[in-house]
Amino acid sequence: MQQSNHNACILVIFGATGDLTSRKLMPALYDLEFKNALHGHFRVIGFARRKKTNEEYRKEIFDSIKKFSKMKVKNDVWERLRDKIHYHQSEFRDFDGYMRLDRFIEKISGQKSKNCNKVFYLAASSEFFEVIVDNLKKAGLAFKGSREPYHRVVFEKPFGNNLKSAAKLNDIIGKSFDEEQIFRIDHYLAKELVQNLLVLRFANSMFEPLWNYKYIDHVQITVAEDLGVEKRGSYYDKAGALHDVMQNHMLQLASLVAMELPVSLNAADIKEEKVKVLRSIEPFSVKEVHNITARGQYGEGKISGKKAAAYKDEEGVGKKSYTETFAALKLKIDNLRWTGVPFYLRTGKRLRERVAEIYVVFKQSTPVLFHEHLKNSELNMLIVRIQPEEGISLQFNAKVPGAKILIEPVRMDFCHECKFGPNTPEAYERLLNDVMLGDSTLFTSWGEVENSWKLIDTITKAWQGKKPKFPNYEAGSCGPREADALIEKDGRKWIEPQKPSYSVLLENNHKK
């Protein structure tokens, strides 16, 4: 991990007492400190409305780090980080709070605020994005343009709730920051196996020649969660699976699988190829949406033998809610490489297990020699397991020992942790470091956001026009029957996740 910058860097977190800060951001900063990746002049300022002293805030952060950091908490590491943590109390709409922030930065850095590198992390509700950015500009805390010292702003999803609101927000932000200063987070992009997709595609001569419609039958992408909405009920009931996961994570994964070879590993070149994929997705009308989508909402059920409440009984959720907790989508990419190859995407909550996998399913070869033996065989496929138990598997056919010719599918598994160890950087650790380095490769561009919303808005409009019969799947199941029908009408079926061969090994290692 590279060191961030030789100058003082001030990270200001808006929403410093929220769940994201305690669960993800502060543990990530501790992990960076653990690896000596934070400069001695680095400072983090928590900006929030609750009244707290520095010591009270530091104590809360220490408790969060103990609970959520993957690294063992060492006193010397914590003491180094503790002295870099400060608290600033203010309402987001209080302009005077930003003027006091300017003076506070000068106090803790020992130099004029305008001479400090600054990163503004908006870990707050999206309704405050506009007022925060506007106040930063008015207070002279941020300057538009690529310059030294740098001023960068980080946004969590959702970036808008449709194309119109996203475009408005982008215009507002653009008055204070240039595109190269804006970092839109999709934490899925920082997961190791997602980053590995480019290497898998373009650093292996065995795969690239096969990566097209001649050899690939279809692609499936599954992002499933066994958890419900937890404490995010009020937010989730306004978003749903389509906006919360499909619009960002799922379409990002699809674009990485389908993209062409970029000119270089430069962030702009990679993003350009991803945008081309999104623009190449075959357009569909509102009337056609019911043919290419399925949605669902979970009812009561059991997860790992324990009773799970229905979505409508979750805290913060309306009793008559029609918000989907499951979404499935069939896409076609209209270009020379992917013509006729469907991409099936599905995501949902309260499903049987937590798993994120990409399945590249190859066409059945002409079985001249083993025609009778391959009648009911499974197709060859490449499986990228993003979480948990990260790895890559190749499924092919092999002969069962014995006198008769019996053919069964087998898998060769690559275990990421077995090879490289368990201490690969967490997503937020990598992302925070990249922001300070100015590397936007793992962040989404406006072009990606714009084109993904164009697709999702059409689906949203169609779904709003018809009230579904919810709930339509039990908690702990594989999802609604409508999703099965979506893929089965094409003569295919969803691939259910299988534990990789190295699961037991990882389990034993973790117990040790």
Q: Where a domain ends, among 152, 185, 218?
A: 185
Q: Nearest CA to 500 among 380, 398, 412?
A: 412
- In 290-418, DSSP assigns E strands to 293-296, 298-299, 301-303, 306-308, 326-332, 342-348, 355-362, 381-387, 391-399, 407-415
Pairwise CA distance, residues 231 & 59, whole Å: 23
* Phi, psi of 148, rounded to the nearest 5 degrees: -115, 130
Q: Percentage of the chain with pLDDT > 70?
A: 95
Pairwise CA distance, residues 451 & 274, whole Å: 10
Query: What's the Rg (C-alpha) of the chain?
Result: 24
Residues 458 and 426 in one domain: yes
Q: Where a domain ends, among 161, 185, 209?
A: 185
Q: Which residues of the chain have pLDDT under 70?
A: 1-7, 146, 366-376, 423-424, 508-512
Residue 255 lies in a domain: yes
Catalytic machinery residues: 249
pLDDT at residue 253, rounded to an integer: 95
pLDDT at residue 356, rounded to an integer: 94
Residues 287 and 413 in one domain: yes
Domain, as residue range, for 49: 9-185
pLDDT at residue 121, rounded to an integer: 95
Residue 385 lies in a domain: yes
Pairwise CA distance, residues 410 & 400, whole Å: 10
Residues 210 and 151 in one domain: no
Residues 305 and 449 in one domain: yes
Residues 506 and 376 in one domain: yes
Residues 401 and 451 in one domain: yes
Residues 298 and 345 in one domain: yes
Residues 138 and 223 in one domain: no
Q: Where a domain ends, among 140, 166, 185?
A: 185
Residues 215 and 98 in one domain: no
Total domains, the chain:
2
pLDDT at residue 5, rounded to an integer: 42
Residue 4 lies in a domain: no
Residue 3 lies in a domain: no
Residue 254, amino acid: A
Residues 147 and 234 in one domain: no
pLDDT at residue 1, rounded to an integer: 44
pLDDT at residue 94, rounded to an integer: 94
Using CA atoms, how far residue 363 sits from 104, 111, 210, 211, 445, in Å, is 62, 63, 10, 11, 34
pLDDT at residue 477, rounded to an integer: 95
Residues 197 and 181 in one domain: no
Residues 65 and 21 in one domain: yes
Q: Domain containing 154 — which CATH number?
A: 3.40.50.720
Predicted model pTM: 0.90
Q: Domain containing 244 — which CATH number?
A: 3.30.360.10
* Phi, psi of 51, rounded to the nearest 5 degrees: -80, 125
